[in-house]
Amino acid sequence: MLSYRHGFHAGNHADVLKHAVLTAIIEYLQRKPAPVYLIDTHAGAAQHRLDSEQARKTGEATRGIGRLWNADSPPALLQRYLGVLHHFNPSGELQVYPGSSAIMQSLMRDVDRLRAFDLHPTEHQNLTTQFRGQRAVRIEHGDGFKGLLGQVPPASRRGLVLMDPSYENKQDFSAVASSVEAAIRRFATGTYVVWYPRLARQSADAMLRRLHRLAPDNWLQVELNVKRQPSDGFGMFGSGLYVINPPWTLPSQLAEALPWLVKTLGEDDHAGYHLDHKIQ
């Protein structure tokens, strides 16, 4: 929905999980010299000021990335992610939180390419301004659900798709599954990373069942809950990622990082995590 602005939520616990995993997967794919094609279907703004009115209003970054920024000895998965964030905050003071597209671009080699979609006119303009002059990055003002199919398969047959809509529209759950299903018919070996919120009043279960049927032998699911489900049924208490064709290295990286994340980001004694996978 065009009313959603991620600036209110940038750097929250969900971004921490999503972007730590995203960084790990991209670096794994880059172990081979072949070009990696990166697709961000719901890009949002390229960067977010954490001193903005939006960020200060919710304080979500303070309870998210703010708790990691100066933490002692985080697990390896999070050390690399934090290293990426330092690229955007060279003074050492946490002032800017990058969007997914900016993180992807910062990790790209000369041979890699990025295609980012966004429907919101302001976010699209932000992306266009941020990446102006960068020939390896293409910004599309359009629906990433529909645009994805025209981008696969990449010539190199190596690629990653990040799909993280706002889910303010309940139809996003089914749209995610349908979009991935269509794409995987053309690009079965691609890595697909689907982010979803943990909400009391909406469940991702039907979407997850559909995604599982697409690749029953190569998948990973991770969820991080930071607090009890709200008694009134409103609000996000955690988030999850469902990855099709994940790196074989990812489960052990997450198994090390998740207990630390629960301890660091947990807001009550109901904080916890779930990790499951099958990788051939």
List, as residue ranges, the binding site for S-adenosyl-L-methionine.
Answer: 19, 42, 100, 118, 143-144, 164
Residue 227 and residue 265: Cα distance in Å, rounded?
Answer: 9
For residues 173 and 171, give the distance between their C-alpha atoms in angstroms, rounded to a whole number.
5
Cβ atoms within 10 Å, residue 112: 23
- Between CA 267 and CA 64 the distance in angstroms is 10
Burial of 280 (0-12, 13-18, 19+ CB in 10 A): exposed
SS3 call for 64: coil
Please give the structure tokens belonging to residue 63. Answer: 């309870």
Please give the positions annotated as active site.
164
Cite the annotated binding site by residue number. 19, 42, 100, 118, 143-144, 164
The stretches of the chain forming alpha helices (DSSP H) are: 13-29, 53-58, 60-63, 65-68, 76-88, 100-107, 121-130, 144-147, 172-186, 205-214, 250-265
